[in-house]
Amino acid sequence: MQQKAAHSNRWHLRDVILITITSIFMGIIFFVTGFLYNGLTLALTPLGMAPFANDILLGLWTMAGPLAAFMLQKVGAATIGELLASAVEAIIGGQWGPSTLISGFVQGFGSELGFTFTLYRRYDMASLSLSALTTAIVTFAWDLVRSGYAAYHPWMIVALFITRFISMWVFGALLVSAVTKLLDRSHLLDRRHA
Amino acid sequence: MNPTILLILVLFVGVEISFTSVIWANVIIIAISVLVMLRHRAPILSYVRLLLVPLIPAVGIWFSIRYFSTAQSVHFAWVMATRIYAYAFLGGLFTFSTTTEKTLASLEQNAHIPTTFVYGMLGAFNFVPKIRSEVKIIRASAQMRGIDLHFWSPRLLFKSIVAALNWSENLAEAMTSHGFTENAPRTHRTVIRIPWWNYVVTVISIVGLQAILFSPLK
């Protein structure tokens, strides 16, 4: 058992390629709809609610972590998956450059914690929901500093956090689980987890 | 500059300005980035993009902090707005100083990132044009059956992942059959070195940043 776990935790070339291609896919899918964020920000700016645009959509950008964890079921998969996805975003978009890597690492580490708490044994809705919660907490702590969230009124901070958690749960748990259910039914991943 | 050293420097600066609130530091970072981009002859359009793209988030956060935060501080509103631009221009500085291939090669040789990751990513990046067309094909073929696949549709993601699974198997096998061995020691045709002046520039930049951050400048 011990040996099997140690073996399956090795990263192979095909795992790296799979995660990177998946990240590129997601990067392109998000890139196509990137105007959503700007549109939302524009609509919310007169109300002073611009930060909500970030929190409503953040679940989308943090999907790579839980998806990678689910597909590879390895220690570190969520962190590496999200970090790779952010590297892809930095390279394709080029715009935010290396600072995307910092966010990617923070988000990946957040998702990872959810699976760490289940000792990497559970890959279901429960661990995905837990991962959404840890991602929300970790990224929110980071945004309190980086995006100046700490300067807002307490009610706004609470509302932002709730928005963020809902977004992460909808995209990172609900959507990811819908995708993985399709994958399970296709039995395409069975060989990889064997 | 060596891409690994530059990446570390840029990340360090990016993290430090996240934890401090000095407008001048952000402005000087933007100015230095512009100078570096000028030296690398970045096209005019890239400056326009760097100015326009962060505009909406920067204006948004300025208004939120100025009118809807507890302190309603004008100073902090400008800190946040210039911080967003500083991030963007740091990105521009890095993008025009090096290429993806050079960065990955340097990460392999100088930062000793496992070759499986470096070459796996390199292989995957060459798929970008194919991936773009695959997304289009999946959406088009669904539309032919009267189904609109949105970006949040699990089916679009599922189909993309199925394609990714096939490609990753094929590409990994192709690379292995061309002699790639996971994490085996490799020799390099182009050896990437870190020139001594890179360290000097890094130390000067970091010391200079501390000098600005802990000076009376606001």
Domain extent for A104? 2-193
pLDDT of B68-121, one tens digit each?
A: 787 788 898 999 999 989 988 998 899 899 888 899 899 999 999 899 988 998
> B165 to chain A: which residues are within 8 Å by CB?
18, 188-189
Separation between Cα atoms, residue A28 and residue B100, nearest integer Å: 17
Cβ atoms of residues A187 and A75 within 8 Å: no
- Token pair of A5, please? 């776990």
Q: B181 CB near a chain A CB, below 8 Å?
A: no
pLDDT of B31-59, one tens digit each?
A: 999 999 999 998 999 899 889 888 888 88
pLDDT of B72-84, one tens digit each?
A: 888 989 999 999 8
DSSP letters, A74-110, are -TTHHHHHHHHHHHHHHHHH-SSTTHHHHHHHHHHHH
Residues ≥6 apart with Cβ < 8 Å to B12? B206
Separation between Cα atoms, residue B17 and residue A188, nearest integer Å: 45
Half-sphere exposure of A147 (CA within 13 A, CB side): 22
Q: Which residue stretches of chain A have pLDDT < 70?
A: 1-8, 29-34, 93-97, 191, 193-194
Separation between Cα atoms, residue B19 and residue B217, nearest integer Å: 16
Mean pLDDT of B155-182: 90
The interface residues of chain A toward chain B in range 120-139, judged by CB-CB distance below 8 A, are none
Cβ atoms of residues A57 and A119 within 8 Å: no
For the purposes of burial, counting CB atoms within 10 Å of the CB of B45, is it exposed (0-12), middle (13-18) or buried (19 or more)? exposed
| Residue A152 three-state SS | strand
Separation between Cα atoms, residue A38 and residue B128, nearest integer Å: 25
pLDDT of A175-193, one tens digit each?
A: 999 998 898 888 888 767 6
The overall average pLDDT reported for chain A is 83
Residues ≥6 apart with Cβ < 8 Å to B217? B22, B24, B25
Which of A17, A42, A139 is the mutation pick for testing B, counting most B CBs within 10 A?
A: A17
Q: Do A188 and B176 touch (CB under 8 A)?
A: no
Place of tokens 């309190």: A144
**Distance, in angstroms, between A81 CA and closest chain B CA?**
11
Pick from A42, A48, A95: which is nearest to B53 by CB? Answer: A95
Separation between Cα atoms, residue A120 and residue A83, nearest integer Å: 19
**What total number of domains does chain A contain?**
1
Q: From the CB of residue B173, how many other CB atoms can be counted at a distance below 10 Å?
A: 12
Whether the ipTM is more than 0.85: the answer is: no
Nearest CA among B103, A96, B23 for reference residue B31: B23
Nearest CA among B169, B215, B218, B212 for reference residue B32: B212
DSSP state of B69: B
Separation between Cα atoms, residue A55 and residue A41, nearest integer Å: 11
Q: Do B68 and A145 touch (CB under 8 A)?
A: no
Output b/e per residue, B84-111; b: 16+ Cβ within 10 A: bbbbbbbbbbbbbbbebeebbbbbbbbe
Half-sphere exposure of A118 (CA within 13 A, CB side): 21
Mean pLDDT of B150-169: 86
